[in-house]
A and B are shown apart, each in its own frame.
Chain A
Amino acid sequence: MKIRKIVGEWYIYILMIMIWVIASLITPYFRQMSVFMTIIVFSVPLALIALGQNFVILSGRLDLSVGGILGLSTVIASVIMKNNLFIGILFPLLLGAVLGLINGIAISKFRIDSFIMTFGMMSVCQGIGLLIRDYPGGYIPSEYINFLLKETRHIALTPLFILIIVLVVGEFVLKRTNFGRAVYAIGNDDVIAHRSGINVSLIRTAVFIISGFTAAMAGLFLSAVMASGDATVGSLYPLDSITAVVMGGTILAGGRGDYKGTIGAVLILTSLARIFNLIGINIWYTYIAKGLLLLIIVAIRMFGVKQEREEVL
């Protein structure tokens, strides 16, 4: 029983290690430190977005606007940073939080379905981004890029730190704070949460603010990786972040799950692309692998869950 519990909690990391071992057996290139660092660097934006998405999904909603906010913040950073680095960092973060606030108010106060609201917000953000910069470009200061991506002895310390800090903060907020418990509570049942004295619409709005903020953070990081701004760069992130969160063991209906599983899923998703690239497999196979992996994991988990409504569906 105990082993089953441990496997249930850490299956995503077991899977990750299995994939890494198999990959390093197949191709010697995968054993190099630089490959590992590439995986870390490309995991950071997805991990940041998935943090916000994880909060939103735990509260029982979805956020599709993360890709639009990410794209918009890379564009704005690429416009402002050449004049003032500080404002170039601060303004996208603030904008992300404000856009998240708008999402949150519309969803909690006006009761617009989160799928529709954030889909609309994604279109608007992408449109504004394209209006400002219709082709990728702009200027990102090299000292900013160096600060984020500099490698000392082949180890990119800053991305590694960001990943660890995000993991610790995410897990801490979810598991050890009143706010985190409130997020789980409204995800499980918002009526009961309301009756037990939780300000449901406040928590719900806060969750979307976090999601907008982390999306903007991911955008700032990605603008350093690309050394430019691109309004459409985020188009895959909404679904990828939902995939990561669900693969990591969080239930789409909300109320159950954690962030450490999500990070494991993020690492798997970014590893797959690198591994397929190194072995020389057509990059489109990663899509098939991603889809199959998601479906298999969720199907296995659904077999394990005994529901009283099983027959009913």
Chain B
Amino acid sequence: MTGIGLKNRNINKDILQVIILSSLLVVIILVAGILKPDFLTAKHLITIAHDTSILGIAAIGQTIVILIGGIDLSVGATMLMADAVGAMLLGGQNRIIPILICLGLGLLIGAINGAGVAFLRIPPFIMTLGMMAILTGSIFIFAKTRGFASPILRYLSVGKVGNIPILIIIWIFLTIMMVVIMRLTVFGRAVYAIGSNPIASYHSGIKNKIVIFFVYVISGIFSAIAGLFLLGYTGVPELTYRGGGLGSDYTLSAIAAVIIGGTIFTGARGGVERTIFGVLVLKILFSILTMMGISGSGKLIAQGLIVIVIVGTYMKLEDL
């Protein structure tokens, strides 16, 4: 994990990456359209984007954690926590307190992660891995598979304005908000600075620990938001084993999406706007495989190969 940092920050390569990704997107959509003409209808594409929104929201938080040079393995578990607790407390009624409790829970989880990483200096991988284990245990002990989403939450998750699902609008709004924060505020620049070189950023007067703490808090809140929308999307809590081991869909899919989008593990390169590409590439590919009747095992193989090939291509780009 050698530091690449700002010195290689070459705008041309960034543009090249975006071009490669968007042409990849266009090619797979076109190929799918030729194989199955139904695929290219606007309705179907919107459905895919709708499906993508929840992962997209979770991936926003993951992106800024990776930008600062960390990682958050507790995203999936936090989502399922908010999902289960939200359903339990809401019980199918429009109440604001349960929503606030869920968001507060996300904030608390993020704050504990942030405190562990920033103030106790526990490596992020270990801190969030431990948090994931604790959350997974807690969900299965305390949360029960009961309760429903409230009508408003359900409306926000599955309802539409015209032809556009509200959830997509929320996803885009949250992304734009985060892009603005990351690009235009002191906080955002501090995140890039720390991800690039923590010692330099410390000596230029940035309070590293505070910034790192808040990055994990933000990730926790975004995970909780994604968990609530997941509840609204399905209507009932999704208490499967997904929050657990490495097979957990959301944590690893979010990380994979961030990396496919071109944000790199060593930090400071990439951005929230890039993650949209990553999430879309993953989801469109999956929906194509589903449409072609390829089973779960084929999807796993395809996911693995795609991630390796795309990241391998990025590393080759670095040599150009």
Contacts and interface: CB of A to CB of B under 8 A. Distances in A.
Interface stretch (A151-159, A169-177, A215-223, A294-302): A294-302
B212 A112 contact: no
A239 B252 CA distance: 13
**A contact patch SS:** helix
A64 B301 contact: no
Contacts of B307: 116, 119-120, 123
A125 B140 CA distance: 28
Nearest to A190: B2
Interface stretch (B34-42, B95-103, B243-251): B243-251
A115 B265 contact: yes
Max chain A C-beta neighbours (<10 A), residue from B122, B308, B311: B308
A310 B208 CA distance: 11
A291 B137 contact: yes
A183 interface: no
Given A106-B308, A239-B245, A290 B133 contact: yes
A252 B126 contact: yes
B186 interface: no
A1 interface: no
Given A106-B312, A123-B301, A287-B136, A294 B245 contact: no
Contact of A298 (B71, B123, B252, B303): B123
B151 interface: no
A128 B298 CA distance: 8
A300 B262 CA distance: 36
Contact of A252 (B123, B259, B301): B123
B138 interface: yes
Contacts of B59: none
Interface stretch (B113-121, B160-168, B175-183, B228-236): B113-121
A122 B305 contact: no
Contact of A116 (B208, B299, B308): B308
A127 B296 CA distance: 7
B265 A295 contact: no
A71 to B, nearest CB: 10
Contacts of B298: 127, 131
Given A106-B308, A235-B247, A239-B245, 14 more contacts: A110-B315, A111-B315, A116-B259, A116-B311, A120-B305, A121-B304, A127-B296, A235-B245, A235-B246, A284-B137, A291-B132, A294-B133, A295-B130, A298-B127
Contacts of B71: 115
Interface string B152-175: 000000000000000000000000
A113 to B, nearest CB: 5
Contact of B134 (A112, A242, A287): A287
Contacts of B116: 295, 299
Given A67-B246, A252-B126, A120 B131 contact: no
B199 interface: yes
B305 A253 contact: no
B130 A124 contact: no
Contact of A236 (B2, B127, B244, B255): B244
Interface in B274-320: 295-308, 311-312, 315-316, 318
Contact of B199 (A131, A285, A312): A312
